[in-house]
Amino acid sequence: MQSVYPSVFRLSRGAGANAYVVLAGDTSRAALIDPGMPWDAGSVIGELRRNGLLDKVTDILVTHADIDHVGAAPKVQAATGAAVWLGRADAEVMDGTRRASTAYRRLLGRWHPGPFTKGLSLLDGGEEPFPGVTCLATPGHTPGHMAFTFGDVVFAGDAVLGTDHGFRQLPGFLTSDPTQALASERLIAGLGARWFCPGHGRVRELKAL
Ligand SMILES: [Zn+2]
């Protein structure tokens, strides 16, 4: 685990999307953000256990329902009993009650991470699913995409990526709604947060983007 910010860590295993841990003020509780690919579950659980955090994970916050972010969530939930939080619209796409907006996303939508033994907790934006963590509706990459803020940190998922030259949108074939995606990029840029923790790539200082 790598320290990113007080009470914020990035897990060190490299497959799937970046996974982060946030500790609540008294360190008695931990939230896991984006557990990663289905086959990452064992290494995520092992890393949490080695760091004395496995028993502390009460919440799994998922930015969106792509396999590289949500895939490990069912197994980590089974190992911890944590609540899994996901944007409502993404949960609907995952369950087949909402049609994905692009052909590629309809193909991705045929995959489901498996049963959530303790169910899903749905987000619409604006909730505080974990002490000090606020969720922010950032649709575009997916219809129910959520970013999370904690202090001076924003966890952006795949709403937007960072480069040495500024923000970068993900490829169009992965984008449900390009207009919404640009609006979400502006929302994140305008937060005034200092640390940018993306779903892919390294943590960056936001003012440098
Ligand atoms: Zn994604």
What's the helix, strand, coil split of the chain in %, to 5? 30, 25, 45
* DSSP single-letter state for residue 130: B
Distance 67 CA to ligand 1 centre (A): 8
Q: Which domains does the chain have, with CATH numbers?
A: 2-208 (3.60.15.10)
The span from the CA of 57 to the CA of 48, in Å, is 9
Distance 81 CA to ligand 1 centre (A): 25
- From first to last of its 209 residues, the chain has per-residue pLDDT tens of 999 999 999 999 666 899 999 999 788 999 999 999 999 999 999 999 999 999 999 999 999 999 999 999 999 999 999 999 999 999 999 988 888 888 888 887 777 888 999 999 999 999 999 999 999 999 999 999 999 999 999 999 999 999 988 899 998 889 999 999 999 999 999 998 999 999 999 999 987 55
Distance 66 CA to ligand 1 centre (A): 5
